[in-house]
Amino acid sequence: MSTNNNSLQVSNNALEFWLRRLHSLTGLIPLSLFVVFHLTANNSAIKGPEAFNAVVNILRSLPYLEIVEISILGIPILFHGLYGLIITPQFARSNLGAYSKVHNWTYYLQRITGIIIFIFIAVHIWQFRFNEDLDFEAVAIPLRQPAWAIAYFIGITATVYHFANGLWNFFISWGFTIGKNAQTVSGYICALIGLIVLTIGYSALWAFYSSLPN
């Protein structure tokens, strides 16, 4: 009986190990890449409605778009989000104060922002994905309202933090940054990337919020 229990424990540990690896990998590919692409595409709004509408038309004319959205984006998002929610209660085990305060708080915020993002994505899809007449004005109408603008400000901030900190964790968990110095340098690089992406996201949001109605 003891041998069977040990074998089961080893099997469960192996499954958890690979699930966490897959969770980490899907966070980078395709989700992080999509976040950067999506915010950059939305940033075309700073050039005016015509530029944004042109980008939307190009994206919506891509072949097999729905298949790509479901297989390359939808399934990874569901897995990454749902598994993230499953492991979220474990942040209580991080025992804030027992280890590096910075490390514990970044881990804590990673879990909290994951919950925010899960809700944010659902709302974002509900608002815009199934709008057949999606254009600059359709996006700008809700985002001109302060409440929605604040909600998107929070959503973008949470998404970019989750992306940047997740990228830093990815390099550690996959063995690219082993030593403390390498992790410190990687942390600065990921923070810089996050600030750049955050600026892109904020500028796109401001373009919609500050636009004048037609």
Q: For position 143, what pLDDT does the model report?
A: 97
pLDDT computed for residue 107 by the predictor: 83
**Domains, the chain, with CATH or none:** 2-209 (1.20.1300.10)
Give residue 78's pLDDT.
93
At residue 103, the pLDDT reads 77
Positive/negative CA dihedral, 92, 95, 97, 99: negative
Determine the residue type at 67.
Answer: I
107 vs 169: CA distance, rounded Å: 9
The Cα–Cα gap between 150 and 86 comes to 28
What would the pLDDT profile of 98-138 be if each residue is shown by its tens digit? 456 677 788 889 989 999 999 999 999 999 988 889 999 99
Q: Confirm whether pTM is higher than 0.75.
A: yes
Q: Which residues in the chain land under pLDDT 70?
A: 1-11, 90-101
State the CB neighbour count (10 A cutoff) for residue 63: 6
How far, in Å, CA of 66 to CA of 208, rounded? Answer: 26
d(CA 16, CA 10): 10
